[in-house]
Amino acid sequence: MRAALLTGWRAPLEIADIPDPGCPADGVVLRVLACGICRSDWHVWTGNDPVALPHVPGHEYCGVVEEVGPQVTGWKSGDRVIAPFILACGSCPDCRQGHQTICANQALPGFTRPGAFAERIAVPHADANIARLPEGMEPALAAALGCRVTTAWQALTDRAALAPGEWLAVHGGGGVGLSALLLARALGARVVVVDVVPEKLAYARQLGADAVVNAAETDAAEAVREITGGGAHVAIEALGIAATTVAAINSLRKLGRMVQIGMPAGEHLHMKLPMDAVYAGQLALYGTRGMPGWRYPSLFNLIEGGHVDLTPL
């Protein structure tokens, strides 16, 4: 089959003919319908997140089942499906509780195994992870959900349990931030978006943000507290940067909840945080990463119900 190959750091991908993937006993082979791209792919491309070369990137994909492993019970040839970027094992104690994102035996196509910038992709642990695409949904839209929409969905509905009528402060107006904006609006929250780029803020406004704050021009935390009448109920940090995390914490009202969506890297692995504010404000800080595959149906039902238009992403 034809695939896009990474053969050296920061080198252009090469289109090459490589062998078709074999079908895992507990997995499926998909004919790829669409594959998205995100910042994580860039980390692979630069070698920051090192992989074995040559490598097929691509972790945001959907496709049609072409082959089915003998242990798979839930899928058959012809099914249109999507998979989360974390392919959990499905049988460890964590998976059995529904906590697939912390599975110790997870497979990561596009990172630790060949991804979806190819005609076909092998997806192990199919029963544990993949989900059926709604009938009318375009593959391009499904792939565009990528890891950003699913991660935001998990952060808002599982980790922070954002409630309708609450205020959300989104710190960082990139892909995951705008995903959080759109989803939060769809579930009845009010949203203020913080960034330093005027164009991003204008776009956030256009997508329905109740308010925007330019952190280059004002104290973002104070501005959010002012707009929300005392502080946001929930804040999202979408960059993985210490200063933004501090601002997110300080933008909360008492008993507020902050979710760290941005992956800390480099000098930001460890962050100096205002624990006096966490203590006195009785705040909650949550880490989050990925989304279990079983949560796709609720997200698809939201989309099919016409609650959110994700095409702007």
Buried-exposed string 173-193: b where 16+ CB fall within 10 A, e elsewhere: bbbbbbbbbbbbbbbebbbbb
Asked if 48 is part of the footprint of a second copy (rule: CB under 8 A), the reply reads: no
Asked if 25 is part of the footprint of a second copy (rule: CB under 8 A), the reply reads: yes
Asked if 10 is part of the footprint of a second copy (rule: CB under 8 A), the reply reads: no
Site for a second copy in 157-186 (CB under 8 A): 157, 159, 163-167, 183, 185-186
Asked if 196 is part of the footprint of a second copy (rule: CB under 8 A), the reply reads: no
Give the separation between CA 277 and CA 212, rounded to whole angstroms: 24
Q: Which is nearer to Zn ion, 188 or 312 (CB)?
A: 312
Site for Zn ion in 244-283 (CB under 5 A): 269, 274, 276
Asked if 43 is part of the footprint of a second copy (rule: CB under 8 A), the reply reads: no
Chain length of the chain:
313
Asked if 1 is part of the footprint of a second copy (rule: CB under 8 A), the reply reads: no
Question: Residues 6 or more apart from 97 whose CB is under 8 A from it?
Answer: none
CA-based nearest residue to 115, from 64, 65, 54, 47? 54
Site for Zn ion in 117-176 (CB under 5 A): 146-147
User: What is the amino acid identity at position 128?
Assistant: A
Where does this chain touch a second copy (CB under 8 A) — which range of 40-48, 60-68, 196-204, 296-304? 296-304
Q: Cis omega (within 30 of 0) on the bond before 19?
A: no
Q: Which is nearer to a second copy, 178 or 209 (CB)?
A: 209
Question: Of these, 245, 250, 251, 310, which contacts a second copy (CB under 8 A)?
Answer: 245
Q: Are 129 and 157 in contact (CB under 8 A)?
A: no
Stated as kind and residue range, the H or E segment containing 200 is helix 198-206
Order of strands across the sheet with 131-132? 120-123, 28-35, 61-68, 80-82, 131-132
| Partner in contact with 96, chosen from Zn ion, a second copy, none, beta carbon below 5 to 8 Å by kind | a second copy
Give the separation between CA 37 and CA 28, rounded to whole angstroms: 22
Show the site string, 211-230: x = touches a second copy by CB under 8 A, - = not.
Answer: --------------------
Give the separation between CA 208 and CA 19, rounded to whole angstroms: 46
Asked if 103 is part of the footprint of Zn ion (rule: CB under 5 A), the reply reads: yes
Where does this chain touch a second copy (CB under 8 A) — which range of 48-56, 108-116, 194-202, 238-246? 238-246
Least Å distance, CB 85 to a second copy, is 14
Where does this chain touch Zn ion (CB under 5 A) — which range of 44-52, 84-92, 203-211, 234-242? 84-92
Least Å distance, CB 58 to Zn ion, is 9
Give the separation between CA 313 and CA 141, rounded to whole angstroms: 9
Question: Residues 6 or more apart from 55 whose CB is under 8 A from it?
Answer: 5, 6, 44, 114, 115
Asked if 38 is part of the footprint of Zn ion (rule: CB under 5 A), the reply reads: yes
Question: Of these, 108, 196, 281, 313, which contacts a second copy (CB under 8 A)?
Answer: 281
Residues found near Zn ion in the complex (CB under 5 A): 38, 40, 60, 88-89, 92, 95, 103, 146-147, 269, 274, 276
